[in-house]
Amino acid sequence: MASHRRPKQPSRTRVSVLTATAAAAVALTSQGAAQAAPKPSKDEVKSKVDALYEDAGRATDKYNGAKEKQEKLEKQIGDLQDKVARGQEELNDLRGGLGSMASAQYRSGGIDPSLQLFLSSDPDNYLDKASALDQLSSKQVESLKKIQEKQRDLAQQRKEAAGKLDDLADTRKELGRKKQEVQGKLGEAQKLLNTLTAKEKQALAAKEQKRASRAADNRADLGKEAPASNRGAAALAAAATQLGKPYVSGGSGPNSYDCSGLTQWAYAQADVSITRTTYTQQNDGTKIGRSELKPGDLVFFNNLAHVGFYAGNGQVLHAPKPGAVVRYESMAYLGTFQFGVRVA
């Protein structure tokens, strides 16, 4: 017969040993993880944050491009819908006129059989029957042709509007994705900044303040270079009135700006229309090298991630990055220079 003795309970000493062993294992694991991923230094955090801001700038530019496309599509769709509405009114008037002719014929002795045929069917099919044309008056033929042409125009305009509505739906989806990408990059940067101690944050803020102060000092050292053009000079002067305004992703003035928002706004004050993004602004004028730069030219950096105004003496007036304001800054601090663009 099987024994039914209760299993022996582990002693308190054994439990304590097991607990201590488990705790030690957890501590060693944690220590190993800490050793595998040491806390990044202040400079490493800054470098990663700057890279994320650059990525966010690129994503912002694509967001701005999608937004610009959306606005253009909405205008085009509105214009097409207005044309369709006006065209439908004209078509109704033409049909009404032809109906009046039919009524007059009826009162004077009956409707022309060919006209009666038209009023009960599609004029396209009817006009294809050339043998019936001789039964119509020249005025009726002209009216039928106008109706046929107007119907074709309306069909084409409706088709075009439908296509643009589909494009608009796709663009709105893209806009949402790009907005999420920008917010994700900025959120990631903020998480990294949050890993810093208060002392490290103060050190970074002091460094940024020193850089901003140095940029302000550079305002008096722009040299006396001749501007690229009168309009370039006017755009640069307009941008200078925005010094101190904050950088905001997607900002296009007058209260905040991103880099391409500032350049577009400033050129608009000089009665020059340029596009919204760095990717398109590079095509808004003639590309030039560094040695050819003059005040008022656009300057591009870091694979089109950034744009600003060349202000003279190696200085750039721009909207730098999140947390900064519109300011002057040496080209030496802005990364890899690509090219300048002289706007006509």
Catalytic residues: 259, 306, 318
* Best CA proximity match to 60, nearest among 264, 190, 248: 248
110 and 162 Cβ atoms separated by less than 8 Å: no
Core vs surface per residue 220-239: b (16+ CB within 10 A) or e: eebeeeebbbebbbbbbbbb
Taking only Cα atoms into account, the Rg of the chain, rounded to an integer number of angstroms, comes to 35
Length of the chain: 344
Residue matched to tokens 């900002």? 251
Measured CA to CA, the distance from residue 155 to residue 92 in angstroms comes to 15
How far apart, in Å, are the Cα atoms of 325 and each of 66, 193, 213, 308, 316?
25, 19, 12, 13, 13
Measured CA to CA, the distance from residue 142 to residue 153 in angstroms comes to 17
What's the N-to-C CA distance of the chain in angstroms?
105
> Residue 205: helix, strand or coil by DSSP?
helix
258 and 250 Cβ atoms separated by less than 8 Å: yes
* The pairing of beta strand 298-301 with beta strand 315-318: unpaired
Q: Is 308 exposed, middle or buried (0-12, 13-18, 19+ CB in 10 A)?
A: buried
